[in-house]
Structure 1
């Protein structure tokens, strides 16, 4: 009878022995015909693999054992010993570009609808991460370093309790018993060689051990991670579900499970590597047999092929033809990209690669064919030769800016009346998306959910980042750079949510110690310093003004110009400047009421009030009353006390002042409205006053 049972097991994917719930076990050698519970993007492929995620951005997927398991002993209620083993692979269709990793977990519920499809691995969100009410034990295999979780690198294994801030983590690898137990690093992503993992809990010693090794290698004697922890304090329900969870974020990846086994109060059954399905191959395909047959036949049609090829070459030449490189442009040559490279990088400027649309053009995500680096390509139209020369000179100069809080401009290309500016690609998009969301279903990319709300620490750091970037532009580079368009949509966030100032399409530069002679005033309504309306001269002080409005916007979560609905006259409303609204709250003795309600009171009150007062000081109508960016940074770092300020010091009405100045220049005012940027803004929304 025993022999017959094992013969039957050879033909089904799951083995389950349930003589008693205290000794339950199962094994999956592939998942064809299994009855696992799946949700989100997770699916079982035709070859028998569990694919948790794919090439889609901002998705999550879960795979659960169909029924809960009894983890707690009936006698004393403590969590029993258990052992889990699984074989996995993490692949990317884009080379080194990687998505977030995945996790094995034990949870009292299968409901993860509230989890974010970004760096939270489909388990938590910004609100419940770290909450004791989660009752979740997990082992993460992470391929992106997220500093907000204290990740040690972008290739690590961690033991998680109710949070993605791992109690213990270590670089992915194994202690090779075939090499005197020496530690060997093991990349989690990109290899066609599957990896096997073991997660074991000793209920008597209350110890968790985690081990990984390449498939086919015996389980190492020394675990990668070992942590003394009593899971009875976490897994408080009598039964719990086990499974896998993953998410992709803005970068994507394939998180794949090939086999899985489990044992309660016994080692997990061995997974038969000979019965496992193969990992899919995502690289270039080898030439097919059909191609080998077609090529000899094609040689017999040589004349036709030559004629067709000639036509194709001519059309291709016309397709990638650029403006001729002129003599004056030679000095900027090293920073000029070919249109062909940019077209290939963006898949022909495909709509699938479009990440932003604004008044100054479109922005596309791309991967440069030679360096394989991710870039953002912004298109800017032009219509005069003189403007081309001036703009090219300034682009080339600003390409030399090097600062951790400045978006790197790598170069340009020009063709048929358009400039193409090539920047670093910021995977987390622009700051305004985190302050205000996507702005409707039309602005939300496929598969995306609600935007993460930035906590106060993140906001304060971003404010400091931008202050540091402006100080570099104003005082620390070879020339003085006046940005002229500081606002949240021009602040981009990198992998680690660091703020970087981008979009130098409106910037102007001049030598230190000289007076800028700018007569064409551009910028964005709500951020324009009042002196611009009648003097038409941008300076570092006008950047400080815009920075002050920016600080208030980040702190309050409100736009600089707010239209309040007139209840007496439907469809009509009054405009209120954010600066005035903050001052009104201060006059009423309730300055903290101006702080963004989405923070739900979780902020440092002294820091937040400092930010509000500093924002008001920077946006003072008198340029001489505004601090320099060096002083701003000293205030933020606590190296210099903020001057003693009272609400009476700020008795100005910004909207009325701006409207009066605009009326004085009625004959020379031109407004250029532009649609709001979607997902990421490397472009400018402009308001132009052609001054005297």
Structure 2
């Protein structure tokens, strides 16, 4: 219907005055919103203020940019005097919780594209080592840099300077700010004024700690920027750090582009000093003559338009309606209605915006399926985790498998599926975001940052119970049994209260209870795979139990399934073998994670270690069911007897299959790559 309306009015629009040219553009943002900005990289909005680099107490590298969504006409190729002049005023601050960790700087820039993001460090989040930022378009990137770091290789005059850059971080002109009493790293709010007048090809920059424009500029340079303009350009800000905790913010922004001849006419009547929202040598936007008003032109257009327009509009309306009906029908054929009772379909546009164009800074994890991004939806501020497929054929199959399985599951220890998207040949799953990341991260990657010490014994024991509960649900309480096939610490997420949530059903399989397992080639992660699964490729609930046993030992010991920790010969050690050896030597308590500093219940530790060993028994027939495990952990059943020595591997009749059966099953199966991430 909207398209039909546009078609109906198209001839009328031809009679209206042309769109605003470079002489008529002005905007004033006292505060910012997602409606008028495009955020890229690490930039964000908070309380109407733009943050360009991430807030962190740990020195890191960060880059972000914020771009006005409105394209501005800077050049009219049809006229000789068609290049714009412009002026802008904005306030910014550079704060640093760790003054010893100094960073880089920020820029105000004009770019031919609206996707401008560059490298960290001296490239200011705007340029790249091989060229300018990925802005696109035919013009150049023009920037005023406010650089708080001395980079001799880029010709910086000091670690406190302002400069003019064109397609390079090496400035065309720059000046040290120290003699002017301006310290970019002071943490104070600094106001900047930038004026460029095309008629005299001159650019000036003022800086001050108040809202009153200083009498003298800090930078004056003569340059013809019209040579670098594209017809339409975008304006915005960028910043970067490299090994620093600096934070760059923008508070308030006014911008105006105007024609150069008007400047010459109005300059004498404008005071040299401007304050508040006033501008130096900037004309007011012209008001159209009432005799040429759009209403008069619209009336004339309505008198001219004939019935042919209505016929075209009707035809377009029918075509659009038919297309939508066909799309809905096709969508229903791909995604069954039972899949969609809970999750909703997201648009690619909103997920792209929420992940800042799937920027690398938003990546929170990687796996066999693809990449996981942190997504914050504009407006609502809701945060999700978005899984993006690698686009391989097998990934699409896993995508459909994960969607069909998890959409019908409901358990407090499952990561909740919120939605999905299949636009632009993408395969995207949207989950609720887990604040504390993965169990893998908290156990191992947390060792460097110290967050692993926050994962107390009570929380670890609770994690063991939670995963046992959800596996009991998947194996025995669902309408169809679900075999996960990839139980590991990186697939177990932790919410804000460290409660465990099992996720990643890309390798899961559905089957009826008491049904014989279906064979495929082995899928999963080395170190978590049961011996019979490696031998025959038969996934059963007992293969999930084995993987769960390995996870339990990791929770207790703080060691990876295959590790070289404390091994003088630097040989890889199997975690199950190591714990079983300590148990056989009556030293089982020594397997406890040293990072707990002895702060655990010894009885619970020993009991959980024995549960882990019983689940990781090489013989699948000797492993408990997950229901039995849950009862033991809840002290509703007696612990299982665990032999002192690790049993020898035996393939019982329940687990063995004829060679003819194996070959037959494998020939009809799909190859799934084994993940070797351990």
TM-score range relative to shorter protein: 0.3 to 0.5
What is the TM-score normalised by the length of structure 1? 0.47
